Amino acid sequence: MNNQVRRPSLEALFREVDNFNPKKEKLQPPRIGISSNRKDGLSCIAETYVQSVLMAGGAPVLIPVITDLEALTAIVSSLDGLLMSGGGDINPLYIGEEPIPQLQDVDTFRDEFDLILLRLATNRQLPVMGICRGHQLINVAFGGSVYQDIYSQHTGGVFKHSQAMPREQASHSVRISDTSSRLFEILKKEPDVLVNSVHHQAVKEIAPEFKETAVAPDGINEAMEHPEKEIFSIQWHPEAMASNGDKLMLELFRHHVEAARLFKEAKRIHSRNVILDSHTDTPMIFPGQFNIGQKEGGKVNLPLMEEGMVDAAIMVAYIPQGKRDDASLQQATAFAMNRLNEIHRQMEINRGRMNIAHTPQEVWVTKAAGKKAIMLGVENGYAIGKDIRNIARFKELGVSYITLCHNGSNNICDSARGEAEWGGLSPFGKEVIAEMNRLGILVDVSHAAESTFYDALEISTQPIIASHSSARALCDHPRNLTDDQLKALAAKQGVVQVCLYKGFINEDAEKASLTDAVRHINHIVDLIGIDHVGIGSDFDGDGELIGCRASNDLINITVRLLKDGYSENDIAKIWGGNLLRVMSRVQSAYNG
C-alpha cells in the first residue's frame, strides 16, 4: 500500500500513470465493494476500511448509498467480494418490532440500500464480510433478530460495548466459541482475542443455518458465519486496528480478499467454459402460465442461471411410475409429450434469453450468443409405453437422454426401488436400448437396479450415463452407485453425474451439505478419474443441500473445487465437458 503523496508535478504524475503496466485480469486484485455510510447527505466511509482492504491485497470499491436496483445490480455484477460496514441503528420494523425509547439514529434509506446490496450480492454468491452494523444487518437479512438496545433488553449484566477510546486500541476481549469455525482458523487458533467495539445494538437470535463463532465475556454475540458459504461477520471493529499494524485483525481482511480472489477465478472459469447441470425436474412444476424467464418459485430458471453463471440445464419430463395397462401407458406418453412441448413454449416466450439445444455444438453456440441452453430428457422409460416408435418421437422433440426407469419396475427394466420383476432388462428393454443407440439418445441408468445397470452396460453399443447418482461408498442408498459399478461405467467410457439430493449425499439427510457433495466428487475422481464425473442437481425434484439450493448456488461448487486444487481443465470436465463428450460420441452414431 502506498499512501505517500507524490510531489505536485502534473508531468511526472501523468508519466507514471501512462507508463504503468497493469497485470493481466486474472492476476489483478479482486474488487471488494464497501458499503458506504450516510452522513449529512454524503456517501462516505472511514478510510481505515479502505486501507485494510488495500493492505490485504484487494482493490476497494466504495459503493454509494443508492437504492436504484438497475444501478446496484450493475455495480454488484462487477464485484468479487462485499464488505458491509458499520454505522447507525437498524429500523426495527425490518424485524417486525416497534421502536423502544433507547433506539438511536435510524436511517431507513441506508437500511434499504444495505439490504438490497446484500441480497444482490448473496444471490450471486459473492463472499461477504460484515462489520458491526454489517454483522447485525446480515443476521436480519437471513432471518435472525437484533437487540434494539442491549443495555435495556439483554437479561443479565452487560459491560460497556460502546467504547470511547480510540478504535485502533483494544477495549475488551472476545472468546472464540466454536473451535471448528473458519474464524478460529483465521485468527490463528487464538481462543481469546482483544478487540475494539462501538455498538449498543447486537445480534439476538442467530439466523437459521448460521452458527455463532465468538462471544463477549458477558455472553453478547460477537461473530457468526455460514458453515458452507463464504459469509462471515463480526461485531467488533477490526479495520482501525488492522490499518494501524494489528496483524491478527488484518488476517480477517486477508481471508476475505482471498475468498474474493477464488470467487473471481470461479467466475472466470464459468465465463470461459460451458457449465451444464445434467438433471433438473423443472417441467414438473410448470403450471399453465409458468414463465422460466422469471423467478416464480422454482430452483431453476433463467434469472437464477444468470446469477450463478450456469450456461445449460437438461430439463426432464418426469413421469412417476403408474399402472401399465394400455390406457395408463398412453396417458404417460401424452404427459411426457406435454411437458416437452411446454419447454418448447418457454423458448417461444423467452427467445432472446434461451435456446433449446439438441447437440453439444448448439450448447456452445448458444453460450456464445449470450443465451442459456436448455436440453431435454425423459425421466422414466415408462413414457415409452409399449410402442418403441415413441423413442423417435422423443428424439424429434430434442430428447438427449432417457432414464430407463424411476421408482418401481416398468416394461423396460427393474428399478433400484421396489420388487424385481425381470432380473435386469426385459426383452422389450433390450429393444429399447438398441433403438436409443440407433437414434443417438443417451441411455441413463440412474434409478436402475444393479442388475439393470450391468445388463445395460453389456447390451449398449454406446457409453451410458447416470444423469443424477452419487457414490454408495459415502452414502449407502440403493439409488447410488457402488464402487464396482463406477469402475464398470468408466471402463465403458461412461459418466456419472453426482446428484445433489440430500438423501443420496448424506445418510443423515438433514445435514447434507455442499461439503458432502464435493466429497462425492472427490471420491469418484480418485476412484475412476477426472474424465467420468459430472453434476446433475435434481433441482425442482427435491434436490438441495445446505449451501447449494438452486442454480445460482452452483458456482459455490466451483469455488470448492478450486480450493481442493482442481485445475480449470478439470473443472470444465466436471461441469459438462465429460457429459457433452459422451453425448457427442453417442449422437455421432445417428445418421438421421
Spatial separation of the C-alpha atoms in residues 532 and 483, rounded to whole Å: 13
Contact predicate 292/353, CB 8 Å: no
Cell numbers placing 291: 414463465
How far apart (Å, rounded) are the C-alpha atoms in residues 167 and 132? 13
Cα–Cα dist 325/279, whole Å: 29
E strand or H helix that includes residue 71: helix 69-77
Mind listing the pLDDT tens digit for each residue in 478-496? 999 999 999 999 999 999 9
- Res 282: pLDDT: 93
For the beta carbon of residue 2, count every other beta carbon within 10 angstroms. Answer: 6
Type and span of the H or E element at 304? helix 302-308
pLDDT digits (tens, 9 = 90+) for 437-467: 999 999 999 999 999 999 999 999 999 999 9
Statement: residue 1 has pLDDT above 60: no
Mean pLDDT of all residues in 335-346: 94
Kindly tell me the sign of the dihedral angle through the C-alpha atoms of 151, 156, 161, 164.
positive
Query: What is residue 335's predicted lDDT score, i.e. its pLDDT?
Result: 95
Say if residues 117 and 98 touch (Cβ distance below 8 Å).
no
pLDDT digits (tens, 9 = 90+) for 352-400: 999 999 999 999 999 999 999 999 999 999 999 999 999 999 999 999 9
118 or 589: which leads in pLDDT: 118
Residue 212 has pLDDT above 80, yes or no: yes
- Pairwise CA distance, residues 262 & 90, whole Å: 32
Is residue 513 within 8 Å of residue 472, measured between CB atoms? no
pTM of the model: 0.96
Alpha carbon distance 26, 163 (integer Å): 42
Query: Does the pLDDT at position 592 exceed 70?
Result: no
